[in-house]
Amino acid sequence: MKIVVTGGAGFIGSNFVYYELKNSDDEIICYDKLTYAGNLETLKDAENNPKYKFIRGSISNRERVYRLFEEEKPDVIVNFAAESHVDRSIEDPELFLRTNIIGTSVLLDACKKYGIQRFHQVSTDEVYGDLPLDRPDLFFTEKTNLHTSSPYSASKASADLIVQAYQRTYKIPATISRCSNNYGPYHFPEKLIPLMIINALNGKKLPVYGTGENVRDWLYVEDHCSAIDLIIRKGKVGEVYNVGGHNEKTNLEVVKTILKILGKGEDLIEFVTDRKGHDQRYAIDPTKIETELGWTPKTKFADGIKKTVDWYLQNKDWWEKIISGEYQDYYAKMYGNR
């Protein structure tokens, strides 16, 4: 098959590109606008692979997307392309609406016009809102009502609804996956785990929102990639699949674990003003994908976080180039007065 991976130069997208190149004989096309979070250096190890090709473009650019379909005639679209950072969505909601909603609709229009074997939308558990900290028995299932908290999650929920509408109205062979928080190689430095690793390595304070008691279910990125691969090949059209890691941790636990691995003191932790509308707890029930498709996460958090820290230690050139530029201005804006 020929698989187009939109947003393939980002964190999860790039890991998916590498996963497919390693585990399939399919031709992989990375289609990416190369915004602040898209980094071609992330994919330099794929450049000489005859099964790989990069095309620059935005999913919101209808003319460019249609040309992509006309020239490449893809069999599968896996849509990772999205603005994904909650804090950025609070600062500039319109950008998220334009990319995450309009961009998804443009891709679906192209699928309707040119045909496709499978369109897969990579979504997030954040579309479900949050769960209370004092109810560890509650989990998100595919039947949980959508209840968004931020412009980011609202834009992703909107995109999911558009995908479902196109599937029903135009019979687009679409599937959706909603994942918990990913971590692993190539994670952009503004996100919690890489930010804490890099700050600790540089002897800088580690900014933790509120009291750090917010809970997330952590999913190692390679496990997520294996789930998506299974869904696009064996998943039932029109279905939503929750993908979780069975690794619930408070943000403070995560930060302390990183400090322990690096041999750094907890005095580096600095509690800062909480995020607006900060969700309390995310917890996914992945029973459906486990029972229907036979997928289970293979990576325990204790193992995955060690592998992730090791990767950042071994790939300083990658993240040092990122934090030396525009990202520093953003970092100062988001955390400077907290």
Hey, is 6 helix, strand or coil?
A: strand
Token duo for residue 211? 């009291």
Token duo for residue 212? 């750090």
Backbone phi and psi for residue 256, each to the nearest 5 degrees, phi listed first? -65, -35
Average the pLDDT over 60-82 and give the result.
97
255 neighbors 212 (Cβ within 8 angstroms): yes
End-to-end Cα spacing for the chain = 49
pLDDT at position 87 over 80 = no
Catalytic position from the list 20, 83, 126, 190: 126
pLDDT of 328 reads: 47
- CA atoms of 71 and 2, how far apart (whole Å): 12
175-198 per-position pLDDT tens digit: 999 999 999 999 988 889 999 999
| pLDDT tier at 151, thresholds 50, 70, 90 | confident
pLDDT of 251 reads: 95
Asked if 126 is an active-site residue, the reply is yes
In whole angstroms, what separates CA 265 from the centre of its chain?
A: 30
pLDDT of 89 reads: 74
174 neighbors 122 (Cβ within 8 angstroms): no
Average the pLDDT over 66-78 and give the result.
98
For the full predicted model, state whether its pTM sits above 0.85: yes
Token duo for residue 168? 């029903």
pLDDT of 331 reads: 43
- CA atoms of 275 and 268, how far apart (whole Å): 20
| pLDDT tier at 329, thresholds 50, 70, 90 | low
257-290 per-position pLDDT tens digit: 999 999 999 999 999 987 777 778 989 999 999 9
Backbone phi and psi for residue 38, each to the nearest 5 degrees, phi listed first? -95, 125
Catalytic position from the list 152, 183, 186, 220: 152
pLDDT of 330 reads: 47
pLDDT of 333 reads: 57
- CA atoms of 143 and 141, how far apart (whole Å): 5
In whole angstroms, what separates CA 215 from the centre of its chain?
A: 17
pLDDT of 273 reads: 83
Residue with tokens 């900060």: 278
pLDDT at position 337 over 80 = no
Backbone phi and psi for residue 124, each to the nearest 5 degrees, phi listed first? -145, 155
- CA atoms of 226 and 173, how far apart (whole Å): 20
Asked if 152 is an active-site residue, the reply is yes
Residue with tokens 């990183």: 258
221 neighbors 182 (Cβ within 8 angstroms): yes
95-148 per-position pLDDT tens digit: 888 999 999 999 999 999 999 999 999 999 999 998 888 898 899 999 999 999
Catalytic position from the list 32, 83, 125, 160: 125
Asked if 125 is an active-site residue, the reply is yes
125 neighbors 244 (Cβ within 8 angstroms): yes
Report the relative pairing of strands 52-56 and 27-32 from DSSP bridges. Answer: parallel
| pLDDT tier at 150, thresholds 50, 70, 90 | confident
- CA atoms of 48 and 225, how far apart (whole Å): 22
